Amino acid sequence: MGRAGLDSGSVLQAAAALADREGYEGVTLAALAAELGVKTPSLYNHISGLPGLRKELAVYGLVQLRHRLAEAVAGKAGSRAVHATGLAYVEFARRHPGLYEGIMRAPDVMDAEVEAAGDALLHLLLQVLDAYGLEREDALHTVRGLRSLLHGFAALEMRGGFGMSLDNNKSLDLLLRTYLAGLEQSVQAAEAGP
């Protein structure tokens, strides 16, 4: 792609593809320029240097992850929605390892754009948990726990941490079912009272 077709969107998509192929650290301005067939200074018409690009990658990744999870939970509720969320989350990390790492390494999580994209993802996850009738704080703790579980699984898998010849998808399914059984038991205990 030459200069004529270059815009902010194409630069960002090329950076995301480069991150997935070469790893997050492989996204440099020189590598991106080579990928796009332009000279490095041409990128500055579309991004504000490497820090700006990394912020844009984090926002883009959060938006893409939210979109993928929303597709996965469409028409589902309760445990089916949570299970679908878990599968889609790990699948996103598998398909987009560099972009996923960019989400986890957002340069400034307090940046307004990063925060807005993160809040949209959080809102979706809270909606997925609506069927459990959790109070806001309990729902936030539950999202935090689910995210920790899924990120831990995805990170271990990405780094080759599952060396045994077992089906990772079966492990993930069992992990999600166990989490859901615990969540449902916790909700029932709270409803029963002291």
The better pLDDT of the pair 6, 172 is held by 172
pLDDT for 4 equals 54
pLDDT for 108 equals 80
Taking alpha carbons only, the member of 102, 98, 68, 101 closest to residue 85 is 68
- Asked if residue 12 is part of any domain, the answer here is no
Confidence of residue 59 (pLDDT cuts 50, 70, 90): very high
Range of the domain at 149: 50-192
Taking alpha carbons only, the member of 174, 16, 168 closest to residue 90 is 168
- Encoded tokens for 158: 């990405």
* Cβ-based burial of 54 (10 A; exposed 0-12, middle 13-18, buried ≥19): buried
- Asked if residue 88 is part of any domain, the answer here is yes
pLDDT for 193 equals 74
- Asked if residue 187 is part of any domain, the answer here is yes
Assign residue 164 the CATH number of its domain.
Answer: 1.10.357.10
- Asked if residue 36 is part of any domain, the answer here is no
Other Cβ atoms closer than 10 A to 100 = 25
- Asked if residue 73 is part of any domain, the answer here is yes
Question: Could you identify the residue written with the tokens 């301005």?
Answer: 29
> pLDDT tens for residues 70-115?
999 999 999 999 999 999 999 999 999 999 999 998 778 788 999 9
- Asked if residue 42 is part of any domain, the answer here is no
Residue 142: is its pLDDT beyond 80? yes
pLDDT, the chain, mean: 93
- Asked if residue 45 is part of any domain, the answer here is no
DSSP code per residue over the chain: --GGG--HHHHHHHHHHHHHHH-GGG--HHHHHHHHTS-HHHHTTTSSHHHHHHHHHHHHHHHHHHHHHHHHHTT--HHHHHHHHHHHHHHHHHH-HHHHHHHHT-S-TTSHHHHHHHHHHHHHHHHHTGGGT--HHHHHHHHHHHHHHHHHHHHHHHTT---SSS-HHHHHHHHHHHHHHHHHHHHHHHHH--
Cα 31 from Cα 40, distance rounded (Å):
9
- Encoded tokens for 104: 């986890």
Is the pTM above the cut of 0.95? Answer: no
- Asked if residue 31 is part of any domain, the answer here is no
> pLDDT tens for residues 9-57?
999 999 999 999 999 999 999 999 999 999 999 899 899 899 999 999 9
How many domains are there within the chain?
1
